[in-house]
Amino acid sequence: MAKLVECVPNFSEGNNKEVIDALGQAISRTPGCVLLDVDAGASTNRTVYTFVGSPEAVVEGALSAARMAGQLIDMSQHKGEHPRMGALDVCPFVPVMNVSMEECITCAHIFGQRLAAELGVPVYLYGEAAREETRKALPTIRAGEYEALPEKLAKSEWAPDFGPSTFVPRWGATVTGARTFLIAYNINLLCTKELAHRIALNIREQGRGVDQPGRLKRVQGIGWYLEEENIAQVSTNLLDFETTPLHVVYEEVCQDAKSLNLPVVGSQLVGLVPKKAMLDTAEFYIKKEKLFILEEEQKIRLVVSRLGLDSLSPFHPQERIIEYLVQAGEVDGGLVAKPLGAFVRAVGGRSAAPGGGSVSAAAAALGAALGCMVGLMSYGKRQFEKLDPIMRKLIPPFHQGMDELVAMVDADSRAFSSYMEAMKLPQSTPEERERRTSAMQQGLKTAVRVPCALAEKVSGLWPALKELACHCNLACKSDIQLATLVGELTSTSPCLSFPTCVA
């Protein structure tokens, strides 16, 4: 599968539309780069671009935009609410799909070296790409901002990783590196900049200093005022949303705001967000409020509502959640994206894949879907009101199983194809035969792993299926019976594949 790296360059221009558009065009015109999002801020005078591509392509895209910035941005004239030190202030590389952190570190090193060589500007490395522990944190490198650079560059301990130790007034300095997914998240308040900053100091990990750390791990924060919206914001960066999720930041800010009698009026996501971050927040509110929501679309809508993500501008999930954008850009959506007739014809074609494994996964997904349907037909109706608590417990496993089993349709086909590709490897020399054997063994393990997971998933649904049969709407009797037959067939069908694989 294709390697995908996300690059998120932050340029110090948020007002001049011609400059903003020119930088975006420099990225989008780079072969292999897909520009996903452009988020400009007037008060911050900063624009965040998000684009994806192969490791090689994103380096070229970032360089193309940097060259354009060198012509159009003059840092000696720059003013803005956001901390900054250069025309291209920061340029991180983030692993998205089939890419390791090491590969993103390599991207940062190549980009930094080429940027310094081409434009003659100082470049620092941060995050996972940092060569020194003291330079891992971006705020540490950016301390003092652009105005402190002449003095800073004169100190040996602040010699850049690439480029000259001389001050370039028009450019400043750039920081590049590799990191996990960062979420830029701001909470809106009707108050002064100073009060917003007081809350930011309370929650950010750095706090007010070594002796007064903040409450939230892996969170950076600052308070500022958005003149164009006439509101203050607690602006945060979530460096690890699994350590400190979106809802924790929002709830903590709300708690402090309440103690100061300050109104919270929604929040704002800058750039893109991983789907998991949204769904984790949905699960928090579902549990907190004892809600019953199954569909992913509705869970996302719940998060938009609870966090007020559409308070400043409309929040369109298809344009803001990175997985949706990547999926929309894929030319081949796989077997599950095909119409039913096309899928059946693909199975009936003269090819070993898709075969029995994909058919078993599709059948199992339909069996789980029937279980889900029977549960929903027995839920939320007045005549079955007493069954609501039972159905709330039984429906989710079928709904989750349905989604997981659908994903196995393509997973099985890809796994078998990797084994078939290994068989085609050359075997003229002992080294080639050894590589072929090793690749075949790895392909075989992968090919067996998918049907095993299928059998395990279907078997795990049996307890819920049995209980559902005891309580469900009798009008769905034939449906539950068919779901049972499908479950019996698909839970044993993977065993039929093993003799073939072993042979």
Active-site positions read: 82, 412
Rounded to whole angstroms, what are the CA distances from 110 to 27, 173, 189, 478?
A: 17, 17, 41, 62
Strand partners, 236: 185, 221
The answer to whether 191 and 105 are in contact (CB under 8 A) is no
308 burial (CB, 10 Å; 0-12 / 13-18 / 19+) is middle
* Distance between CA atoms of residues 344 and 354, nearest Å: 10
Helix (H) or strand (E) holding 305: helix 296-307
Which residue type, as a one-letter code, is found at position 73? I
Rounded CA separation 219/338 (Å): 42
Q: How far is 405 from 233, CA to CA, in rounded Å?
A: 43
Task: Confirm if 35 and 51 have CB atoms less than 8 A apart.
Answer: yes
Question: 161 to each of 80, 137, 169, 174, 415, how far by Cα in Å?
Answer: 26, 15, 19, 10, 43
User: What b/e string do you get for 105-129 counting C-beta neighbours within 10 Å, with b at 16 or more?
Assistant: bbbbbbbbebbbeebebbbbbbbbb
CA-to-CA distance for 38 and 299, rounded, in angstroms? 25
Written as one string, the DSSP assignment of 323-338 is HHHHHHH-S---GGGS
Structure tokens at 158: 């602040």
**Residues 452, 455, 458: CA angle, nearest 5 degrees:** 145
What region does 79 belong to: left with phi over 0, alpha with psi -120 to 50, or beta? beta
Residue 162 corresponds to which amino acid?
A: F
Partners of 224 in the β-ladder? 233
Residue 214: how many CB atoms within 10 A of its CB?
Answer: 18
Closest CA to 62 of 106, 92, 96: 92
Q: Does residue 178 sit in helix, strand or coil? A: strand
